[in-house]
Amino acid sequence: MAASPAQAATAPTVSASGAYLMLGSNGTPLYNKAADTRRQMASTTKIMTAAVVLSTPGVNLDQKVTSKQAYRDYVTAKGASTADLRSGDVLTVRQLLYATMLPSGCDAAMALAETYGTGTTRTARVQSFIGKMNAKATELGLTNTKFDSFDGNSTTGNNYTTPRELGKIARYAMNNVNFRAIVKATSYKASAKTSTGGTRTYTWYNTNQLLGSYSGANGLKTGTNTPAGPCLVFAATRGTKTVIGVVLNDSNRYTDAAKLLDYGFGTTTASTMQLRKLPQGAQRD
């Protein structure tokens, strides 16, 4: 039986500490490098944050949530990426999902965690939500994944996964039509009511520079912090074929992602890819 172009091509060399590539349709592995070694995952954690919200029974994406000063204080304390949510502004769950996934807003992720967790205090609600993230990992059969945060800013070092298992989380999340719409957007404008009855317009840019750079790229999430290094979970669709991949601790994450996608598609477009530039002042992650 003749090999497909993707199989016949030589597997690329990537600088990631861990990498994984699979078919979106059935999860067939296409490439792995230390795919089962546990690593920190930084803000790629937010894929699970969004997945837990979107898989909540009866989730209402138009539910209104009031942003709190605590979310801004958290971002300041952590030096974390932010959607710059203003205290008292009223946003919808849908808007908060865009705010979490595009500019990698840790404030928005905290708002979702508090909204979808249960308990009498903010701390209890957030911990309850992290519990739901871990329950979802168990439900997906993941044995090398653990969350101790809603955004990847680990407090204990127990926020880890493997390239293979993060790929499985991504594939699960991409089955949701709302998730797919969010992570493929290069930018998003949100109109929110302020505490004084006015209207504020937020504009968020997707930190994932593969979007608009690699033909067919349609997701997924960046992540960068000191313990994890630069991370990227990525996906692209060409024709009827979707390929999903992960690179963890990779200083050449976009180039390597493009090389891996080329390998999956049996193409050679990575070498001519021009990376989409983020506007001045946009969040980097």
Enumerate the active-site residues: 43, 46, 104
- Which three-class secondary structure string do you get for 221-278? EEEEECCCEEEEEEEEEECCEEEEEEEECCCCHHHHHHHHHHHHHCCCCHHHCCCCCC
With a CB cutoff of 8 Å and minimum separation 6, the contacts of 17 are 34, 37, 39, 229, 248, 249, 250
- Please name which of 67, 65, 72 lies closest in space to residue 94, comparing C-alpha atoms: 65
Q: Which amino acid is at 212?
A: G
The answer to whether the CB of 12 falls within 8 A of the CB of 255 is no
> What does 46-78 look like in DSSP terms, one character per residue?
HHHHHHHHHTSTT--TT-EEE--HHHHHHHHHH
Q: How far is CA 163 from CA 64, 183, 216, in A?
A: 35, 19, 22
The answer to whether the CB of 244 falls within 8 A of the CB of 167 is yes
With a CB cutoff of 8 Å and minimum separation 6, the contacts of 70 are 110, 122
